[in-house]
Amino acid sequence: MGPIVMNETHNTKRSLYSHIPVMSKEAVELLNPKAGEVIIDGTLGLGGHAKEILKRIIPSGTLIGIDADGKSLEAAKENLKMYTEQCFFINDNFRNLGKALDSLGIKKVNAVLLDIGISSFQLDDESRGFSFKAQGPLDMRLDTKGPISAFDLVNSLSEAELSKIFKEYGEEIWHKRIAGNIVSARKNNPIKTTWELREIIIRSVPRSKRGRKIDPATQSFQALRIAVNRELESLSLALDAAFDRLQPNGRLVVISFHSLEDRIVKNMFREMEKQSLAKVLTKKPLRPGEVEIEVNHRSRSARLRALERL
């Protein structure tokens, strides 16, 4: 997902958001949408990819937009309002993709797009607690109605459990020290904000090991977000559900943003090809070009993979 721009008009109190979706040209080309087809955008975000898909499937095509984040979904509805008759908007986790299709009476689709990255719309909202660049509550829930927040994990899990999260989901070298310092700090008062947590993490990393380009808290915050939202489990379930609902010659395109996600996608695609159920269209993941990275530095870690069901 890409950067956002907020435009305020004198005629409305609502803030309208637009954004540049990551690797949009490559994703749409590989999806190969045609007029009249049924396409799923399982991670709708603000609707940037969806808009490009809709241009190719109108007037008789259908786009099913799914997103766990209700705020993003409302923004997408506004951004796609000129295509309302072609869209279904569903507020749910993409792991429930099959359930969403059943609710619409749709058995098979022509293509599915999954853009796994968190959007700037979410990162830049300090009330969501995804980023340490601004002080906010330790939340990190994609679905704001979800039962478990980052606050809950940070203040209730054991030192061993926290260490495991930072090691497995963040690939953080200093996971034991970070977990230990969190447990020590919370004995006095609960850790409530992003800045409080970042300060603990930074103190846990030796000064000589603190990178200049990447903040020392980056990997640990990523790990907590993955744990809060059960993202890797959801991705595996979503991939299986998406493939199951593809028609023959239907395509699945996935954009991921770190190695753990990409590994799940790569392994699933290879297994489908090994079983002669699909053809992998990207033997190596596609990466954004220099121009795109310059415009949107958050796209630099994107990896795009695609397959076609046989």
Parallel/antiparallel/unpaired status of strands 246-256 and 278-280: unpaired
How far is 109 from 64, CA to CA, in rounded Å? 10
Residue 18 makes CB contacts below 8 A (sequence gap 6+) with 4, 5, 7, 46, 48, 79
Q: What is the mean pLDDT of each run of 10 residues along the chain (310 residues)?
A: 37 47 96 98 96 97 97 96 97 97 98 91 92 95 95 98 98 97 97 98 90 86 97 98 98 96 98 98 96 90 97
What are the CA-CA distances from residue 118 to residues 79, 144, 184, 284 (Å)? Answer: 18, 14, 30, 23
CA 214/CA 210 separation, integer angstroms: 8
**Is residue 39 classed as helix, strand or coil in its secondary structure?**
strand
pLDDT at residue number 208: 84
Domains for the chain: give ranges and CATH numbers. Answer: 4-121+231-309 (3.40.50.150), 128-229 (1.10.150.170)
What pLDDT is attached to residue 214? Answer: 84
